[in-house]
A and B are shown apart, each in its own frame.
Chain A
């Protein structure tokens, strides 16, 4: 116990441990790839590196089927096309992980007044998490996105508005979903938070004195405006350049694909059975086309308004959970999107204060996934028709567990864990 405690006393030890963990996994992965037909490397990594090879040959990264990312990713991974540097991307992703962890610790200390050991302890939920290290060393690019998101949070909290705008625009260009953070950041960024007015001054304004116009006028602050403009400029600047370079395939694969895709294959989403049905033309209604309404109502409107000013990272966590839970497609890599916020939420969460609740939440989350995975195994490998009731009920149960957890998070963030 004391050894663990002393680990958190020394930041260098935590970071060293997290780097060693990833290095070991990288070498282990290379060994497994070389000795087993069951590969450690994620199939997506093959897609990225193939795309990078196309780029190195002067071709479009979209020449690779199922490359559905910004060309920036393929450019970044260009060195993987060089002799002997195949693992460059994995190193980059793993390094992003560590940087994200460092930013978490730094933010916890600077903005939430945590002592270094306590901040490191919570940052270790990310840094020393074997699942996170596993995902990035297998070559999944989610780590890269997570460092962008956490850097965005850090930039906002430290009032680096330009940087925040750029990061937000870049994040949305990279993977669309970070746009949900826009509303909560803008809502949070009031005069009290953007550093232009000391908190005491704001107290003087009486709600009764405000007309609709003045509310609107007060809402549009320079920092809010600046953040929006920088984010939009970055986003459109990147998209226009990429469109000029790669034309329609860029728009098709990076964005339009997500609008037109019929994701009929089984996944964790509660919509998956319905989507299979409607894709095969066996449904009268058209409910699935309205799926974005509950998802965006929660993640873009309700949660930012209610929670952003209570706790920005808490609101972002709730938004991400809502976005992923109510999404039409849900695979396990999406879970990483919200795990990055856990170090900010856990310190004041009822999950830690009430370990029994915490354990129940963790157990139900894992059990619901396991039930789904068992049905998925029956389908994929045993060839049993487990779509209904198996996968259908399993995905609804997993949805129920996630919604219940989201309720707890909303309560904890909103009421400060009281």
Chain B
């Protein structure tokens, strides 16, 4: 297992050289106040066979998980995804029948594995039914995975348990400690692709625990795998596309010669690189709410203060537009015909500019229980005030949505949890900007693949502590105590229909009787009695 640990400090955070001491075997970190990114790369022999069985069916597999709790981001880790578990994967491209079978077996196994690793209650039967296929804008770059899945997942406890039981050797305390540290991560990425044949797990912690990170980062026990460490801070970059980082770098267990030169210190470094994701000031925020009462047609409101509407510090000549990317569970959906309209009245009244992309479950009528896909994704371009100096105190963008019918419940209500969307500026970058050279580059987030590869993103910060909205959905009320149980509804309907039918038949019978051809005298008699 190769490791790369990066600590990034905010500019105003104090740092003294004795907080990081390098010895030939380890790097000791003492009360370091910083964000932390940890990257572990596994080769196949380090993984259990049940993982390998699924991975070998994949051309690419990318898992993104983000906490439901708000966390801060710092350059170069500025990108965000909606809270929950995102899975993107592309099966191996092979059209032979035999291989298709293998792939589908692998796929069928994929859901079982996801459930075992992340949560036994995931709404996932098999990828072909549960996953959605995102629109692929450019097959040439293939920046979007073929299948995509999302589910809310409040914690990674299950993943930690899985790693502890299946990956860590039971005596390896270091491994168990690493696994447990995932519990406090704000976001976790897992990447696999068939070219590198290795699995990378990335954790991101936006805050240090207590007084700061205190850790002893040891070299690899056998000394074969790298353990890289960086203590960095961002500097003012000269080019707007670039991020400049400065600080200390080290390779634990390898840099002993160099470290001697600096008498037990790390080597200083200053480097810059073009970046896809750029930070925005802290006051560039957004908040999500649903207009009350939500009814069956909830309206999602994205509220933006003036500071969020200020165009980002993009290179001169770049065109920028504000976007949102919604990740909606199957219980809530947009009407793609309503949202893709070009009617300026509709768009202006919602402060929307256009629907740019939609993928997933967009059936307008189906109840939730008959929908197999996990849900849908929507990329919307948002309108911004025409003149920046005439920005209202709060700019509200509204997205009209609709609820599916949910199964009956005892209370007459069910909850639908909707993750907050991400909101960001997307700006065109100069030709020739190579984002891939960024050692912290992050792709396969779902939304970034819908833009050209040279687009720059500036993400707004969510402003609430919990990034999931709970909607109350009215459903049919069924309980054991009330009068209106399913038997009563069934019987009541049958009786009503039956009585109605009898009433009409009775009326028809009266007509038929009175018009029956009868002997004249009987007819007269009847008329008399009437």
Chain B 452-488 interface 0/1 with A at a Cβ cutoff of 8 Å (1 = within)? 0000000000000000000011111110000110100
Please give the distance in Å from A270's CB to the nearest CB on chain B: 6
Cα A404 to Cα B507 with chains together (Å): 10
What residue of chain A has the Cβ atom nearest to residue B294's Cβ?
A: A383
Please give the distance in Å from A115's CB to the nearest CB on chain B: 29
What residue of chain B has the Cβ atom nearest to residue A386's Cβ?
A: B474
Q: Are B489 and A303 in contact (CB under 8 A)?
A: no
Q: Are A282 and B510 in contact (CB under 8 A)?
A: no
Q: Are B478 and A282 in contact (CB under 8 A)?
A: yes
Inter-chain contacts of A387 with B (CB < 8 A): 408, 412, 474-477
B94 near A: Cβ within 8 Å? no
Cα A261 to Cα B139 with chains together (Å): 37
Chain A 250-286 interface 0/1 with B at a Cβ cutoff of 8 Å (1 = within)? 0000000000001011000011011011011111110
Q: Are A381 and B293 in contact (CB under 8 A)?
A: yes
Q: Are B345 and A36 in contact (CB under 8 A)?
A: yes
Inter-chain contacts of A385 with B (CB < 8 A): 411-413, 474-477
Q: Are B484 and A411 in contact (CB under 8 A)?
A: no
Are A66 and B364 CB-contacts (below 8 A) given A280-B407, A387-B412? yes
A21 near B: Cβ within 8 Å? no
Partner of A298, one of B483, B486, B501: B501
Inter-chain contacts of A389 with B (CB < 8 A): 483-484
Are A277 and B349 CB-contacts (below 8 A) given A297-B501, A407-B504, A415-B514? no
A325 near B: Cβ within 8 Å? yes
A50 near B: Cβ within 8 Å? yes
Inter-chain contacts of B477 with A (CB < 8 A): 385, 387-388
Q: Are B492 and A276 in contact (CB under 8 A)?
A: no
Q: Are B500 and A411 in contact (CB under 8 A)?
A: no
B142 near A: Cβ within 8 Å? no
Inter-chain contacts of B508 with A (CB < 8 A): 302-303, 306-307, 410, 414
**Total interface residues on A, using CB and 8 Å?**
63
Cα A281 to Cα B346 with chains together (Å): 39
Please give the distance in Å from B444's CB to the nearest CB on chain A: 29
A42 near B: Cβ within 8 Å? no
Cα A277 to Cα B407 with chains together (Å): 8
Partner of A381, one of B297, B490, B494, B507: B297
Q: Are B295 and A285 in contact (CB under 8 A)?
A: no
Partner of A277, one of B297, B369, B408: B408
Which B residues between 340 and 396 are near A, CB-CB below 8 angstroms?
345-346, 349, 362-365, 367, 369-370
Partner of A388, one of B294, B489, B515: B489
B101 near A: Cβ within 8 Å? no
Q: Are B515 and A310 in contact (CB under 8 A)?
A: yes
A2 near B: Cβ within 8 Å? no
What residue of chain B has the Cβ atom nearest to residue A275's Cβ?
A: B493
Partner of A326, one of B370, B478, B500: B500
B147 near A: Cβ within 8 Å? no
What residue of chain A has the Cβ atom nearest to residue B412's Cβ?
A: A385
Cα A287 to Cα B407 with chains together (Å): 19
What residue of chain A has the Cβ atom nearest to residue B511's Cβ?
A: A414
What residue of chain A has the Cβ atom nearest to residue B471's Cβ?
A: A383
Of B411, B474, B493, most buried by chain A (CB within 10 Å of CB) is B493
B261 near A: Cβ within 8 Å? no
Which B residues between 315 and 353 are near A, CB-CB below 8 angstroms?
337, 345-346, 349
Q: Are A380 and B296 in contact (CB under 8 A)?
A: yes
Are A383 and B472 CB-contacts (below 8 A) given A285-B490, A407-B504? yes
Cα A386 to Cα B484 with chains together (Å): 12
A406 near B: Cβ within 8 Å? yes
Cα A264 to Cα B514 with chains together (Å): 42
Are A399 and B496 CB-contacts (below 8 A) given A276-B476, A277-B486, A388-B489? yes
B505 near A: Cβ within 8 Å? yes
Q: Are B493 and A273 in contact (CB under 8 A)?
A: yes
A163 near B: Cβ within 8 Å? no
Inter-chain contacts of A264 with B (CB < 8 A): 367, 405
Inter-chain contacts of A303 with B (CB < 8 A): 508
Cα A65 to Cα B477 with chains together (Å): 31
Partner of A273, one of B370, B489, B503, B506: B489
Are A403 and B337 CB-contacts (below 8 A) given A283-B486, A381-B297, A414-B511? no
Cα A260 to Cα B367 with chains together (Å): 14
Please give the distance in Å from A320's CB to the nearest CB on chain B: 13
B195 near A: Cβ within 8 Å? no
Q: Are A273 and B504 in contact (CB under 8 A)?
A: no
Q: Are A407 and B345 in contact (CB under 8 A)?
A: no
Cα A182 to Cα B33 with chains together (Å): 84
Cα A415 to Cα B510 with chains together (Å): 9
Inter-chain contacts of A306 with B (CB < 8 A): 508, 511-512
B517 near A: Cβ within 8 Å? yes
Please give the distance in Å from B351's CB to the nearest CB on chain A: 12
B497 near A: Cβ within 8 Å? yes
A396 near B: Cβ within 8 Å? yes
A interface residues (Cβ-Cβ under 8 A, vs B) = 34-37, 46, 50, 65-66, 207, 262, 264-265, 270-271, 273-274, 276-277, 279-285, 287, 291, 294, 297-298, 302-303, 305-307, 310, 322, 325-326, 379-389, 392, 396, 399-400, 403-404, 406-407, 410-411, 413-415
- Between A and B, 24 residue pairs with Cβ closer than 8 Å are A65-B364, A277-B408, A279-B367, A282-B407, A282-B486, A291-B497, A294-B498, A297-B501, A298-B504, A302-B504, A302-B508, A306-B508, A326-B501, A379-B474, A382-B293, A382-B295, A383-B474, A384-B474, A385-B413, A385-B476, A396-B492, A399-B496, A403-B504, A404-B503
With A276-B476, A381-B297, A413-B511 known, 4 other A-B pairs at CB within 8 A are A279-B369, A380-B296, A386-B474, A406-B507
B interface residues (Cβ-Cβ under 8 A, vs A) = 293-297, 337, 345-346, 349, 362-365, 367, 369-370, 405, 407-408, 411-413, 472-478, 483-484, 486, 489-490, 492-494, 496-498, 500-501, 503-508, 510-512, 514-515, 517
8 residue pairs, one from A and one from B, having the closest CB atoms = A414-B511, A385-B412, A385-B474, A403-B500, A388-B484, A387-B476, A410-B507, A381-B295
